[in-house]
Amino acid sequence: MSSVKIFSGSAHPKLANAIADNYGKPLGKCEKQTFSDGEMGVFFTESVRGSDVFIIQPTVPPADNIWELLLLIDAARRASAKYVTVVVPYFGYARQDRKDKPRVSIAAKLAANVITSAGADRIMTCDLHAGQIQGFFDIPVDHLDASAIFYPYIKNLNLENMIIASPDVGGTARARSYAKLFEVDMVICDKHRKRANEVASMQVIGDVEGKDVVLVDDMVDTAGTISKAGTLLKEKGANSVRAFATHGVLSGNAYKNIEESALEELIITDTIPQQQESSKIKVLTVADLFAKAIRKIHDHESISSLFIK
């Protein structure tokens, strides 16, 4: 069987090192060079001929991270790697997955196209903004679920009157799966936006009186929605409100919004590197989850055991 070689782009080397440590191998060696005009080049400083190459790179802003990933895929392919798997803990541009207004690009599909065209054989990611994005790829997609990370944490909270909540209608399916997992009820915060990153109004569908609310979402960006939901749920009589989101984008006034919110805490994963710390934010790692998935893929085993059922 071909050997496994794990490499990292420059977007999140801390997570890549943790994944490699959990797998039991050091990160492979590659370098990035940048010309004075900003042009980028990458190259492997060790042989990858005949190897199963795993390239770890969340496609967080700036867009250079996507370009670097494409160059690494191309370099591995041209260096005669047997199989190239792209590990994208956070798949950027996933929010642009449909035409929600005239004359707009579908960036998620474009990103899928260029990754495939660059030569990737497989992509591994976690909690896509919309599950149907898997269909944008013409290569196998291993779509991991952060519930395997959040479930033990929520269970250890021992919340007596727990209820699951979705911060918007779009996350209903995700909230329902958590509610089914813990055998509790769920509510929905129905929001209306005037424009991106700005919530105009919100209302709660369901009763949260005296409940310990657990909000679940795939990502937190400016934290406007999650903060407004926390305040509204408290006003509706909730005993406590906690939020769980896989991807902590946390841009703009996110940290300020969270600190000033009614949330007890916000639990995220380390799919995206954090810019600062907050007393209300706790980060759980996905390193072991991805390391196990890499091992199972290399050994041609099912990854179903990595999901909470």
DSSP letter for each residue of 4-41: EEEEE-SS-HHHHHHHHHHHTSPPPPEEEEE-TTS-EE
Phi and psi, residue 89, nearest 5°: -55, -40
d(CA 85, CA 102): 35
Tell me the C-alpha to C-alpha distance, in Å, between residue 89 and each of 16, 57, 105, 280, 291: 10, 7, 23, 23, 12
CB neighbours (10 Å) of residue 233? Answer: 27
Residue 191 annotated in active site: yes
Of the candidates 229, 248, 63, 78, the residue with the CA atom closest to the CA atom of residue 149: 248
d(CA 30, CA 36): 20
| Residue 291, SS3 per DSSP | helix
Encoding tokens for residue 209? 């009186």
Catalytic residue among 191, 211, 228, 292: 191
Q: Are 42 and 31 in contact (CB under 8 A)?
A: yes
What are the residue numbers of the active site? 191
